[in-house]
């Protein structure tokens, strides 16, 4: 499964209403827009809710969304949809480094919760616990997808999940 994506730079938040010039401090609800800038590129503009509701719109408007002004130095979180989670999950299948095994386990639990995987059984071979899953849409009798349960206690798994959640946002 491979996904191609094109990144289109649209700039960072301006923290200023494009219609009124008023400051939009962090935490302020607003509308962010992307428009063509007339030079073959794109430009990001923010509008206060009041200006937007009053009808302020930029020329060349391509898209808009409601948001909240972020903290200026806040790290952006990557949003992963189900297909992207599965792609990372598959890439980690042959990686036996402990941290990668733990991440793959967490991704399996996310995919299980999202009903993209179905738990079949647990096997223990030479002290290694492996959970076997079927994938949604697999034909009857398709090979099971094995996932090694990492040798971490529940507290360590929760900490790893918190760390992963700090940098990645998963579609609901």
Q: pLDDT, tens digit, for every residue of 116-166?
A: 999 999 999 888 999 999 999 888 889 999 999 987 777 776 667 666 665
For 41, 45, 57, 61, the CA distances from 11, given in Å and listed in that order, are 11, 9, 18, 15
138 and 152 assigned to the same domain: yes
Write down the pLDDT at residue 5: 42
64 and 86 assigned to the same domain: no
- Among 59, 74, 89, the domain boundary falls at 74
Write down the pLDDT at residue 110: 87
Write down the pLDDT at residue 46: 95
> Can you give the residue range of the structural domain that contains 30?
1-74
90 and 130 assigned to the same domain: yes
Write down the pLDDT at residue 6: 41
Give the separation between CA 86 and CA 80, rounded to whole angstroms.
10
95 and 20 assigned to the same domain: no
82 and 165 assigned to the same domain: yes
82 and 69 assigned to the same domain: no
26 and 100 assigned to the same domain: no
Write down the pLDDT at residue 37: 79
- Among 25, 50, 74, the domain boundary falls at 74
Segment-wise mean pLDDT, segments of 10 residues, the chain, 172 residues: 49 92 95 82 90 93 86 69 86 84 86 92 92 91 92 72 60 52
Strands (E), 8-116: 29-36, 42-48, 61-68, 78-80
91 and 19 assigned to the same domain: no
Average pLDDT of the residues of the chain = 83
147 and 105 assigned to the same domain: yes
95 and 124 assigned to the same domain: yes
Write down the pLDDT at residue 61: 83
Strands (E), the chain: 29-36, 42-48, 61-68, 78-80, 117-125, 128-135, 145-148, 168-170
84 and 161 assigned to the same domain: yes
The 8-class DSSP code of residue 116 comes to S
Write down the pLDDT at residue 10: 67
63 and 90 assigned to the same domain: no
């Amino acid at each position: 499964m491979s996904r191609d994506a094109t990144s289109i730079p649209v700039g960072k938040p301006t923290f200023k209403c494009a219609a009124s010039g008023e400051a939009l401090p962090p935490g302020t609800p607003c509308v962010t827009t992307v428009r063509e800038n007339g030079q073959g590129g794109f430009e990001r503009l923010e509008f206060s809710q009041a200006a937007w509701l009053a009808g302020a719109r930029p020329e060349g408007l391509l898209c808009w969304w409601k948001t909240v002004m972020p903290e200026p130095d806040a790290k952006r979180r990557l949003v992963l949809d189900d297909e992207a989670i599965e792609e990372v999950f598959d890439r980690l299948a042959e990686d036996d480094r402990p941290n990668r095994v733990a991440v793959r386990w967490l991704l399996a639990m996310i995919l299980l919760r999202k009903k993209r995987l179905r738990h079949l059984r647990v096997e223990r071979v030479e002290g290694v616990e492996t959970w076997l899953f079927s994938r949604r849409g697999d034909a009857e009798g398709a090979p099971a997808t094995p996932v090694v349960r990492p040798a971490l206690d529940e507290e360590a798994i929760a900490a790893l999940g918190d760390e992963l959640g700090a940098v990645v946002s998963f579609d609901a």
